[in-house]
A and B are shown apart, each in its own frame.
Chain A
């Protein structure tokens, strides 16, 4: 690991000031950043510890929640209101990592965790456009079973690994930001970028911009929600495919739906094409399956991951069927 300085931010303004130094990086729980630094994937000159910033989980007047960026993943998943009103979020967080990692990881760090593409981590042995722009991508013709089927580009086919973000995408979450030029908000679905020609630019954040909170609007009244993760072993593995969904059924007809996929794309994938096919349609397995198909019609499989298309269709169908059963 390269030497670096360490500073603890007292509040958001202090963090942004410290974070404006050259090659500074914000430090949450360190569960991703420390690993990346140890493997020389990144080498910040200064770490600005932002775990002392707000970790409060507050009720909003509209019935939503405001979650401080420094809230630990466990704290969010165990919160009464999250468990009762956002089961998709509690379940998604609990599906990620291990309990030890969830006790350390912060909400902002989870959102900004980097891909788990093995070539990205293999600094000495592999080419990677995301790590070294223009170098090439060893995944495209390599071992790409875990890689993207939607939203990839000839430059990069990595997936975004977060479970929590898939639920946040389906919950219409909004991210609160603060930078040198002031504060702003961005829907979570617009925070991460698809790789295109520039996989090294992963988000819409400006240099030194800080995540201060995540806001959850209330889910549609009467809707059920859930999260399912499919992986190679029962626990402690990244998703091959995951599905977060919100569904309301009235007299057999779908009157509200939000759907997001994980493990299949370089960003948390909001499945708007499928949502359009579902809204107003009868809540039955044939509808669910057909809607999943329309979303995955755009899929471009790589040599080793074509199975993800069928897996995603089946998982979407199963999750929606479960929720339709609950919502009745």
Chain B
């Protein structure tokens, strides 16, 4: 598979989760293990640009795919705009949930840009998604923050994407 743009090859036991492959085998410890049961979102990464939970993903199933972790978000000219916004808006306290929130929000913006509705979208047939606070909260509800930094997190995401979703992924 490709991880953050680099080709990697690893022989894994079928039991290995994508999360453990990233953290233990490849040494990419940015992606966090919160619950290991799909309930917290700390392990969120992007697979071909789509946000997924790496703790419930068997690594073997993702052979040949393009995986992006928090380590791969920054560009050549510094942090991703969303990363800057998290700093500006106090989007974290302990930071444990932050890598998951960042990857999740990048994936969320891409979904919104292609018009994917959410449970709170009033008009399911609308072409354009307006990322207001309610939409952001609902769309990010798969990422929990035990420190309660949600207000800063939503503010950072709104500042980055509310104007025009998903230009940068």
Residues of A participating in the B interface, judged by any CB pair closer than 8 Å: 1, 3-6, 27, 29-31, 34-35, 38, 47, 49, 51, 74, 77-78, 83-84, 87, 90-91, 94-95, 97-101, 103-104, 229, 234-236
5 contacts between A and B (CB under 8 A): A3-B14, A27-B61, A95-B119, A98-B141, A98-B142
A51 to B115, CA, bound (A): 24
Q: State which residues 44-87 of B face A: CB under 8 Å.
A: 44, 50-53, 56-58, 60-61
B60: which A residues are within 8 A, CB to CB?
6, 49
B141: which A residues are within 8 A, CB to CB?
98, 234-236
Query: Is the Cβ of A34 less than 8 Å from the Cβ of B117?
Result: no
A235: which B residues are within 8 A, CB to CB?
119, 137-138, 141
Query: Which of B2-10, B22-30, B103-111, B151-159 faces chain A?
Result: B103-111
Query: Which of B35-43, B89-97, B161-169 faces chain A?
Result: B35-43
- The interface residues of chain B, by DSSP majority, are classed as loop
A95: which B residues are within 8 A, CB to CB?
119
A48 to chain B, nearest CB (A): 12
B64 to chain A, nearest CB (A): 11
Map CB proximity to A onto B107-124 as digits: 1 under 8 Å, 0 otherwise.
110010011111101001
A29 to B53, CA, bound (A): 10
Query: Is the Cβ of A3 less than 8 Å from the Cβ of B124?
Result: no
Is B31 an interface residue, CB under 8 A from the partner?
Answer: no
Contacts A74-B111, A87-B124 given; indicate if A34 touches B142 (C-beta within 8 A). no
A139 to B100, CA, bound (A): 34
Residues of B participating in the A interface, judged by any CB pair closer than 8 Å: 13-15, 17, 36-38, 41, 44, 50-53, 56-58, 60-61, 104, 107-108, 111, 114-119, 121, 124-125, 137-139, 141-143
A97 to B17, CA, bound (A): 20
A77, A99, A104: the one contacting B139 at CB < 8 Å is A99
A99 to B125, CA, bound (A): 19
A75 to chain B, nearest CB (A): 9
Query: Is the Cβ of B51 less than 8 Å from the Cβ of A103?
Result: yes
Query: Is the Cβ of A90 less than 8 Å from the Cβ of B58?
Result: no
Query: Is the Cβ of A78 less than 8 Å from the Cβ of B116?
Result: yes
Cβ-closest chain B residue relative to A72: B50
Query: Is the Cβ of A104 less than 8 Å from the Cβ of B56?
Result: yes
B115: which A residues are within 8 A, CB to CB?
78
Cβ-closest chain B residue relative to A46: B14
Query: Is the Cβ of B124 less than 8 Å from the Cβ of A90?
Result: yes
A49 to B142, CA, bound (A): 25
Query: Is the Cβ of B142 less than 8 Å from the Cβ of A4?
Result: no
Q: Which of A5, A38, A100 has the most CB of B within 10 A?
A: A100
A3 to B13, CA, bound (A): 8
Cβ-closest chain B residue relative to A90: B124
Query: Is the Cβ of B56 less than 8 Å from the Cβ of A99?
Result: no
Query: Is the Cβ of A35 less than 8 Å from the Cβ of B14?
Result: no
A30: which B residues are within 8 A, CB to CB?
56-58, 61
A79 to B52, CA, bound (A): 19
A77: which B residues are within 8 A, CB to CB?
116-117
A6, A29, A101: the one contacting B142 at CB < 8 Å is A101
Cβ-closest chain B residue relative to A49: B61
Q: A74-B50, A98-B141, A100-B53 are in contact. List 13 more A-B contacts (CB 8 A).
A: A3-B13, A3-B14, A6-B58, A29-B56, A34-B56, A51-B61, A83-B117, A87-B124, A95-B119, A97-B38, A101-B53, A103-B51, A234-B138
A4: which B residues are within 8 A, CB to CB?
14-15
Contacts A83-B125, A236-B141 given; indicate if A104 touches B53 (C-beta within 8 A). yes
Query: Is the Cβ of B52 less than 8 Å from the Cβ of A1?
Result: no
Cβ-closest chain A residue relative to B55: A34
Query: Is the Cβ of B124 less than 8 Å from the Cβ of A100?
Result: no
Cβ-closest chain A residue relative to B14: A6
B104: which A residues are within 8 A, CB to CB?
99-100
B52: which A residues are within 8 A, CB to CB?
100, 103-104
Contacts A98-B41, A100-B41, A100-B104 given; indicate if A5 touches B57 (C-beta within 8 A). no
Q: Which of B41, B58, B121, B125 has the most CB of A within 10 A?
A: B58
